Amino acid sequence: MKLVTWNIQWCRGCDGRVDPRRIVDHARALADFDVLCLQEVADNFPSLAGSAGEDQFAELSALLPGFEAVPGVAVDVPGEAGRRRRFGNLILSRLPVLRVLRHALPWLADAGSKPGMPRLLLEAVIRSPSGDLRVMTTHLEYFSASQRAAQVESIRRIHAQSCEQAAFDAAAGGAGGTPGRNTTGSPFHWYPQPAAAILTGDFNFRPEDPLHQRLQAPIAEGAPRLQDSWTIANPGVPHQHTNGVYDRVQWPASYACDFIYVTSDLATRVRRVQVDGESQASDHQPVLIELG
């Protein structure tokens, strides 16, 4: 299984041009991916530099026929002529998608920070050849450190709850193990909630930030913790920079803030984690993980 994650800056490259097709082409050049996780996807925001207000959720989906699109809208506000303005994340998968969950992350008042925007953790249970796993993608707060810390704690709670549900399902013996478990196709239909997970995104913290370690701290006895897949695949190698590598207008210096975490039960399956250091289709670089 190959997964690519990328903050696409509303498909705006370092040349200022907005081009959804270029995003897909560059991601495909990095890998024949099974899952694509995108952050900063925009719809009906003509005020964003280079954008004509195109629906990027729809355009990116149309460029990947055979992939199921799972949008995660964090910002949803009025636009002209009754059309909403939307901004957030998008998962595209050619593997079967089971349950989808959209978790609003804390958006707390912070008088000492510039105004931010709502943030979301988008989660999809993917049926991979090696078993079901949760794919999660997010884009954490940039300006407010206290909001970002609260969002990390929320992600830890969400992961802990999923692990608790997975343990309950395993103890009950699966779908047939609990009398009355609904498998009729109704809104109450039971789907497995696996503990195994991949968490991707732009976290707006650096590898040396305590939040990076906090996200990887144990959550509960017996539950698989999240681990930075870069350090698994590239032990002893500093993180390759993923933001501001080419964009010197917004970013005076480059750094790493885009990570892929995997649960500890997936650690032995990590074959490769690679940053595309050449693409200039966004102010961020795409990151690939390959699981065996």
Q: Is the pLDDT of residue 179 over 60?
A: no
pLDDT tens digits along 53-99 = 999 999 999 999 999 999 999 999 999 888 999 999 999 999 999 99
pLDDT band per the 50, 70, 90 thresholds, residue 180: low
* CATH code where residue 109 lies: 3.60.10.10
Residue that is written with structure tokens 């609904």 in the block: 182
Lowest pLDDT segment from 124-138, 168-182, 197-211? 168-182
| Cα–Cα distance for residue pair 187/205, rounded to 1 Å | 38
| Cα–Cα distance for residue pair 280/292, rounded to 1 Å | 29
Q: 72-81 long-range contacts, Cβ below 8 Å, gap at least 24?
A: 72/102, 72/120, 72/121, 72/122, 72/137, 73/102, 73/120, 74/104, 74/117, 74/118, 74/119, 74/120, 74/139, 75/117, 75/118, 79/44
| Cα–Cα distance for residue pair 265/242, rounded to 1 Å | 26
Instruction: Return mean pLDDT, the chain.
Output: 95
pLDDT tens digits along 208-259 = 999 999 999 999 888 999 999 999 999 999 999 999 999 989 999 999 999 9
Q: Supply the range of the domain harboring residue 129.
A: 2-291
Residue that is written with structure tokens 């992600």 in the block: 155
User: How many domains are contained in the chain?
Assistant: 1
Q: Residue 57: enclosing H or E segment and its boundaries? A: helix 56-62
